[in-house]
Amino acid sequence: MINMFLKAALILVILTYKVDLHPFTKTGKMLGAEKSWIGEKKAAAPMWKGSAYYPVLPPSLNLPESQRILASDINKDLFRPERNRRPVPDLMKSILLPPTSPPKTSSATSASRPVDMLCHLDRIYVRVLKSLFNNPNAWQYLKVGTCAVNQATDTHYYFLYYLDSCNVKRQENENEVIYSNTLRYEPESTELVARELPFSVSLECHYSKHHRSYQVGFMPQVAAETILWRLETGLSLTPVDVSWKPLASGRSYVIGQPVYFEAKALWIQKGKRLYLNNCYISSSAIDSMPKHTVLNNYGCMIESKKSAQTKFHVSDENNTLRFSVGALVFKDMMSQSAANKVMFIHCEMALGPEKPTPSSKSCWYNVDTKRWSELYGDDSVCACCDTSCPAPEPSVPMTPVTSNPWELDRLDQPGLEAILPEENMDMFELYGFRK
């Protein structure tokens, strides 16, 4: 019996020396780490804290902080406690493991947008491009609801107000709470002509009422989304003087002298240019007879063949198109007793490519060279002006615009003939005057 106990003790001592109870050395390297773990192709790097072993954990799930949902997507019964076990429904899997949405991208550069708006949890932030305005004091006539501009930089006007201010309107449905307001520009002018046209932009902030939260203690964050709205009145056609400034009150034109006009788009996309498709002159602000065509055929100024004063003039800005027309009057107006004759010009405008084409061009007939000339591009695009030019693509919007009225001085004004240049005397013969 004693021999058996001695043999058992000897075996225990031998095993104690063969088995290392602490497989890590002082340097932290695991003895035999160059060998593979059972069932793995390659040894995994172990982690430790002191002498205690910690296995490598799998990466955490990439879940969103929250997810906006509709009222119809609320599934309270799906998460109600039940007895026994059952497979996890597919709908519950889609809720617990939602797909990750790709980040939103914007095609337009924020610095070039005419109006930007950010909706925060308790306030709104509106930014307006200064380049939309000709008036350096435009901020005085720019408001969001009842609130005025409260900050400005070299490039933008800013509004930053609490959400429930500025005479905002609040409404809600089963999915959202909506706050709406209007950005308005209403310039005041005591002059005969308007330098700029008023416009308004609708502003809305939408707040989701229902969220799925994937984080403990989550507070819904309002996404700072940019909302871009088209200006309601973005095109203007203004009679101007020879310096391209709107006519001052009391100013008028005289038969035989050029009448100057400036067509303008308040905002234009990069790579685009403003064009005129057709224009005609009438004595009424509405489409009425008689009318005299000045420009047609998608940018051909046909009146320039009859008057050297009718032509396009260069402008440094793609959103501005300048031209002049030799002043004329309708025959039935010559016998009218009114001291001044009121006239209007009506044009169809379009935003086309920066490089002119036969469908989008600004051509006039140069009486010196006896050929058609294009204002900014190759004269070859004007070759169709004597025939028929192709129409622009259907996707190009065409907007009719009527100018402010302008006045012609009375035709029987004493001494009128003496102030006109000699080369314009043929205009008098055209309308029954004597040289």
Whether 8 shows a pLDDT value over 90: the answer reads: no
The whole-chain average pLDDT of the chain stands at: 75
In the structure, what pLDDT confidence band is assigned to residue 367 with cuts at 50, 70 and 90?
confident
Distance CA 8, CA 2 (A): 10
State mean pLDDT over 136-143.
90
Distance CA 241, CA 406 (A): 11
State mean pLDDT over 224-238.
61
66 alpha-carbon distance from chain centroid: 30
Contact 115, 201 (CB under 8 A): yes
**Which of 398, 399, 314, 414 shows the shortest CA–CA distance to 364?**
314
**What six digits make up the tokens of 268?**
């234009």
In the structure, what pLDDT confidence band is assigned to residue 32 with cuts at 50, 70 and 90?
very low
pLDDT digits (tens, 9 = 90+) for 44-101: 455 554 445 556 666 767 777 777 777 777 777 777 777 777 787 888 777 777 776 6
Q: For residues 158 and 69, which has the higher predicted lDDT (pLDDT)?
A: 158
**What six digits make up the tokens of 231?**
């200006």
Contact 100, 116 (CB under 8 A): no
Beta bridge partners of 258: 326
**Which of 225, 275, 266 shows the shortest CA–CA distance to 114?**
266
Name, in order, each residue with C-beta under 8 angstroms of 193's C-beta and a sequence gap of 6 or more. 238, 239, 246, 247, 404
Highest mean pLDDT among 12-21, 120-129, 295-304: 295-304
CA dihedral 382, 385, 391, 396 (to 10 degrees): 50
Long-range contacts of 165-174 (CB under 8 A, 24+ apart): 172/209, 174/71, 174/209
Whether 416 shows a pLDDT value over 50: the answer reads: no
State mean pLDDT over 105-131.
77
**Which of 386, 364, 228 shows the shortest CA–CA distance to 301?**
364
Percent of the chain with pLDDT over 70: 67
Instruction: State the SS3 of the chain.
Output: CHHHHHHHHHHHHHHHHHCCCCCECCCCCECCCCCCCCCCCCCCCCEEECCEEECCCCCCCCCCCEEECCHHHCCCHHHCCCCCCCCCCHHHHHHHCCCCCCCCCCCCCHHHCCEEEEECCCEEEEEEEHHHCCCCCHHHHEEECCEECCEECCCEEEEEEECCCCCCEEEECCCEEEEEEEEEECCCCCCCCCCCCCEEEEEEEEEECCEEECCCCCCCCCCCCCCCCCCCCCEEEEEECCCCCECCCCCCECCCCEEEEEEEECCCCCCEEEEEEEEEEECCCCCCCCEEEEEECCCEEHHHHCCCCCEEECCCCCCEEEEEEECCCCHHHCCCCCCCEEEEEEEEEEEEECCCECCECCEEEECCCCEEEECCCCHHHHHHHHCCCCCCCCCCCEEEEECCCEEECCCCCCCCHHHCCHHHHHHHHHCCCCC
State mean pLDDT over 186-206.
73
Give CA separation, 294 vs 52, 172, 217, 303, 342, in Å: 93, 52, 69, 5, 17
Distance CA 182, CA 227 (A): 13
State mean pLDDT over 107-115.
65
Distance CA 245, CA 247 (A): 6
pLDDT digits (tens, 9 = 90+) for 378-395: 999 999 999 999 998 876
pLDDT digits (tens, 9 = 90+) for 246-271: 877 666 777 667 889 999 988 788 88
> Which residues make up the CATH 2.60.40.3210 domain(s) of the chain?
111-213
CA gyration radius, the chain:
39
Through-space distance between the first and last CA atoms of the chain, rounded to whole angstroms: 154
111-213: what CATH class? mainly beta
Name, in order, each residue with C-beta under 8 angstroms of 4's C-beta and a sequence gap of 6 or more. none
> Which residues make up the CATH 2.60.40.4100 domain(s) of the chain?
235-430
Tell me the fold of 235-430.
Immunoglobulin-like (2.60.40)
Distance CA 281, CA 287 (A): 10
Evaluate if pTM is beyond 0.75.
Answer: no
State mean pLDDT over 307-324.
92
